[in-house]
Amino acid sequence: MTSDLRLMSVHAHPDDETITMGGLLSLCADRGIATCNITCTDGKLATIFAPDMPEETHRPRLAEIRQDEMREAARILGITEIHFLGYGDSGMAGAETNTADQAFWVAPLNEDVGKLVEHIRRFKPQVVITYDGNGGYGHPDHIQTHRATLLAVEAAYSALYPEAGPPWEVQKLYYTAFPVSSMKRAIEFAKAAGMEPPFGADDPEDLPFLTPDHLVTTTVDCRTTIMRKREALRAHRSQITTDFPLLAIPDEVAPQFADEFYQLVISRNQSELHETDVFAGLPSEELAATR
């Protein structure tokens, strides 16, 4: 049954949507929930990991390549619509490219927010998902994505940006999360199986992108969509190789690591402290349409 629910995800680069929430996006497709993914930058400064993509021939076309990969991943996951804001990749923190003319990091924040407000008012999502204030791991484009999204969610319901359409109130805003306890379990599994620990870390505390467990409010069971998420990860072939943690494990083990995690930071409705559904607490008539 087609739902009246809608979810918007806002990410920095092509592949971030699949890594952080590919399972949830695919679950939404199964439930008839419309999804809209916004990618802020072209990702053209990323390292090319695919061995069959030589730097000299693929670097000049990397922005185009990554957009094509994003489109294929979206098809696999069942994302309803995708949009590229067109900003340049800023590169890692401290790089000279952070201040390049087209870099997202130095783009006027008012402009970034305005573009997102227009998408929010047009698509009318009840739920929006992006990164925390550190952008997950401190990447300038992730931090700027966080800033712009947080401001846009509030501005969309105000009198600001009148040219962007009638106001729309987002009901729930989430940050993506990777709990310390979940990574600890993955490291323990890898060691027991004689595999390389995820991201080469022997201790979860060595990884900068993890979320303290007490901040995680929402755990989504994505066992039914984990294989689609893995297929979508493979679609981002310039960036993600077979040794990526979720691809390196056997198929029969993957469902054990299928859960996705989120931190609820804004809710206009009464919400439980520990959810299993990002749409929990929304009006019952909207939820009923997805069951």
Phi, psi dihedral angles at 249 (to 5 degrees) = -80, 155
* Amino acid 284: pLDDT: 56
Position 159 confidence tier, pLDDT thresholds 50, 70, 90: very high
- How confident is residue 269, by pLDDT bands cut at 50, 70 and 90? confident
* Mean pLDDT, rounded, for 232-242: 97
Alpha helices by DSSP H, 102-250 = 109-123, 140-155, 180-192, 226-235, 245-248
Q: Tell me the pLDDT band of 263, cut-offs 50, 70 and 90.
A: very high
Helix (H) / strand (E) containing 237: none
Burial class (CB in 10 A: 0-12, 13-18, 19+), 10: buried
pLDDT band at 289 (very low <50, low <70, confident <90, very high): very low
Q: Does 224 or 190 have the greater pLDDT score? A: 224
List the single range of 46-60, 82-96, 200-214 with lowest mean pLDDT.
Answer: 200-214
Q: What is the pLDDT of residue 291?
A: 45
CB 69 within 8 A of CB 116: no
Question: In the structure, what pLDDT confidence band is assigned to residue 196 with cuts at 50, 70 and 90?
Answer: confident
How many C-beta atoms surround the C-beta of residue 53 within 10 A? 15
pLDDT at 92: 95
pLDDT digits (tens, 9 = 90+) for 67-119: 999 999 999 999 999 999 999 999 999 999 999 999 999 999 999 999 999 99
Class of domain 6-178+214-251+258-288 (CATH, top level): alpha beta
Burial class (CB in 10 A: 0-12, 13-18, 19+), 199: middle
180 or 195: which carries more pLDDT confidence?
A: 180
Q: Is the pLDDT of residue 288 over 60?
A: no
With CA atoms as reference, report the closest residue to 185 among 245, 122, 239.
245
Token pair for 39: 């990618």
Give dist(CA 61, CA 136) in Å, integer: 27
For the chain, the first-to-last Cα distance in angstroms comes to 8
Rounded average pLDDT over 270-279? 88
For 1-49, how does the pLDDT look when each residue is reduced to its tens digit (9 = 90+)?
367 999 999 999 999 999 999 999 999 999 999 999 999 999 999 999 9
